[in-house]
A = this chain, B = another copy of it.
Amino acid sequence: MLSIDLPAAFGFMPNVVAQLGTFEIPQGLNLENILVYSPLQHDLISHLLTLGVGAMAVGFVYFLTTKRQSAPAYQPSSVLSAIVMVSAFLILFRQLQGWQSAFAFDGEVWRLTDSTFSNGYRYLNWSIDVPCLLTQMLFVVNVTPAKFRKTRTRFVASGLLMIYTGYIGQYFELTSIPWFMLWGFISTIFYVYILYLVGNLIFRSREGLPRPAYNTMGTIWWVILISWTLYPLAYLVPLGWQFFPEWGGWAGVTRQFLFTVADIFSKVIYGVLLTSAAQACSVEAGY
């Protein structure tokens, strides 16, 4: 267990240290656990997580019931979306339960109980979702089998490396800014590479697609670009909080808000768009 080394690392933020007093932050704790929340803040997070859970359940029903409306060649895209829904439903349900058992209301604010809240569940879970989401696209655009395999391998490898390096980094979010930033930086390299791969794929391989699918692929690019970028922003929230500790419980709200919006766009909306592109291709192919 490390004492909080922020001042040593950056030489500023005396107010953080003041607020925390002599309290030593044990290694691995997430920011959410050292904050207190007004009912407004606490409920907002509960509502957001519950919205996420509902969105994934709803997405699951949608992807399963519309699978048959695409030609067989495109159906793996629906299956992969359904898989992502199952996985994200479980993880968000876990986050919600964790949130509810980690804090208790004392009539004024919500304070930590003998349980904690952790964002790390999400990271390990992305090891399932990110490979699925990226691979999924390959079933809709026009690629040769060889390119399919090659791109898939790159997607999976760089996706996992991005996630695992970020996962390590987030353990330092309260106890060591340098390590936190270093791992975040390494993760970002893989992230940029993935964006490069995706952009390349979309803008090169959508050529053969029918008009509506062609356009949809363009929208998908923006959906990915924006929604994926919310994850590193959520990662950075503890840094922002150390600059503005008066941010208080709103820091927690911001992070869960970013995660929820990112989850809904990068998984559900993305999947719906890809399905609609697949349907356009199926119509064109006379299905």
Contact = CB atoms under 8 A, between A and B. Distances in A.
A160 interface: no
Contacts of A53: 90
A147 to B, nearest CB: 18
Contacts of A247: none
A50 B121 contact: yes
Interface string A154-187: 0000000000000000010000000000000000
Interface stretch (A13-21, A107-115, A133-141): A107-115
Interface string A30-54: 0001000011111110111011011
A54 B123 contact: no
Contacts of A112: 105
Contacts of A27: 38-40
Nearest to A80: B62
B127 A51 contact: yes
Contacts of A43: 28, 116, 118, 120
B1 A47 contact: no
Most chain B CB within 10 A, of A50, A86, A115, is at A50
A29 B46 CA distance: 13
Given A54-B128, A90-B50, A61 B39 contact: no
Interface of A: 1, 24, 26-29, 33, 38-44, 46-48, 50-51, 53-55, 57-58, 61-62, 65-66, 79, 82-83, 86-87, 90-91, 94, 100, 104-109, 112, 114-116, 118, 120-121, 123-125, 127-128, 171
Contacts of A57: 86-87, 90
Given A27-B38, A62-B83, A87-B57, A51 B125 contact: yes
Given A55-B128, A82-B65, A105-B116, A39 B29 contact: yes
A41 B29 CA distance: 10
A79 B66 contact: yes
